Amino acid sequence: MKVLLTMTVCALLGLLAYGISLQQQQSVKPLAVQPPPSFPEFNLDNDYDPPVKQQFIERLDYIGLIRNTGGNPAQLAWAYGQLCRLFHAYQQMDEARDCYLNAIHLDPTEEEWSYLLAHVYLTTGFNDLAIDYFSRALANNQSIQTQYWLAHAHQVNQDHDMAEAQYMELLSYEPDHAMSLYGLAKIKQQNNDFKAAIKLLNKVLKTQPQAHQVNYLQGQLYRKIGDIEKSRTLLSSIADDRFAKVSISLYDPYMQHVSDLRISAQSQARMGRKAVAQKNYQEAIRYFKNAVAANETRTDTRYNLAMAWFLSGQLQLAQEQLTAVLKLDAEHEKAIQLQNRIQKRLNAK
């Protein structure tokens, strides 16, 4: 009797445990019967820039609308996806992860959510899960960028054979795919085949001569093959300025969509500073204008806009912006200095 009782309790516990265990593993394998999606806990922060807050409100309202009007799971998944991208854009990775998982449960056929979730996993160090979700995205829709990221995730996971196979397949469709050539070069480097790596990087440089990481890797490889002079020349060109760096460009519409959502003053100002470092003043002005629109009370953002006007030679507009800065903060040191510089230049004319 005692044994039977123990067995029964164990069986119940086991069944319970199995159920919970399956639920806990929902991030790995989708269930045949989807659990009801829970709404991610989210506290709308009053300190957000007004346009950012508005973005969140709109997306939360949209989800509410779909729910209240009895929308189907695919519609609800889509609504969630819009919110997930916003979490992702503002680097709230925990929320983004849970949100994407919800969207995927509701609509496992939409590759975008799997693709973006894989990116979240990749940036938070869960490479196995990144590989899993890039694979799912690829199964739903064959695309060059998904295949590249899958190869990259394998490489990060130290599975160089899988990565190489993926890169090679990708290059058979698109022989100049720069990131794949770079990825392959890294594998060759790891295998001590330095000359082959240099050859691959030379191909990349044909289309992307400014790419910072290519020049750095070339510099290291030339040292390894004993061409010290070439190595020093390449490495001495590596500026210690993160905004001045140029990455290998990669066509990635889904991630671009995420980045484009960043409209806060901070993120627009960052883009503006990067554009200034690359001497692209017109683009910088566009970003700084956006930043000022996102939060009109930030003196540093306005000062940056003034500086961008100044650097592009539009002194009148720079002065107007500096006047606005000094209205907000009469002792803004950098603004006063820039104003004096402009005045000197105008006087010299």
Partner 1 sequence: MTSKLTVKLNNHVINAMHTLWLLFLCLVLPGCQRQQADSESNKTVKTQKPVFIDVAEQVGVLMTHRNGMSGQLYYPEVMGASAALFDMDGDGDLDLYLGQGRQLEQEQPGLAEDRGRLYRNDAERGSLQFTDVTETSGLWSDGYAMGIATGDVNNDGWTDVFLANFGSNQLFINQGDGTFSESNQNAITTDELFSSSAAFVDVNADGWLDLYVTHYIDYQIATHSDCFNETGALEYCGPSSYPPLADQLFINTGDGAFRDESAARGITKEGAGLGVVTADLNADGLIDVYVANDQSHNFLWINQGDGYFTDEALFRGTAVNHHGLAEASMGVDVGDVDNDGDYDLFMTHLLNETNTTYLNDGGGYFSDMTAALGMADPSMGLTGFGAAFLDYDNDGWLDVLVANGEVRHIKSQVDAGIDFPLKQTNLLLKNKAGTFSDLTHLAPVLLTPEVSRALAVGDLDNDGDTDVIITNINARANVLVNQMGQDSSWLGLSLLTSSGRFDLGAWVILKLSDGSTVKRRVRTDASYLAANDPRILFGLSVHTQSVDLEVRWTNGQQDSYEGLELNQYHILQQQ
Which residues of the shown chain bind partner 1 in the complex (CB under 8 A)?
A: 6-7, 10-11, 13-18, 20-21, 24-25, 41, 43, 45, 47-49, 52, 89-95, 97, 123-127, 156, 158, 186, 190, 212-213, 215-217, 220, 223, 231-232, 235-236, 238, 240, 242, 245, 262, 264-267, 294-295, 298, 300
CB of 54 to partner 1, least distance (A): 11
CB of 45 to partner 1, least distance (A): 6
Nearer to partner 1, 177 or 332 (CB): 332
Nearer to partner 1, 295 or 339 (CB): 295
Per-residue b or e along 138-162, where b marks 16 or more CB atoms closer than 10 Å to that residue's CB: bebeebbbbbbbbbbbbbeeebbeb
How far, in whole angstroms, is CA 19 from its chain's centroid? 35
**What's the CA gap between 234 and 209, in Å, rounded?**
12
Nearer to partner 1, 143 or 266 (CB): 266
CB of 285 to partner 1, least distance (A): 21
Nearer to partner 1, 45 or 161 (CB): 45
Nearer to partner 1, 236 or 347 (CB): 236
**What's the CA gap between 153 and 125, in Å, rounded?**
10
CB of 218 to partner 1, least distance (A): 10
CB of 320 to partner 1, least distance (A): 22
CB of 273 to partner 1, least distance (A): 9
Nearer to partner 1, 95 or 252 (CB): 95
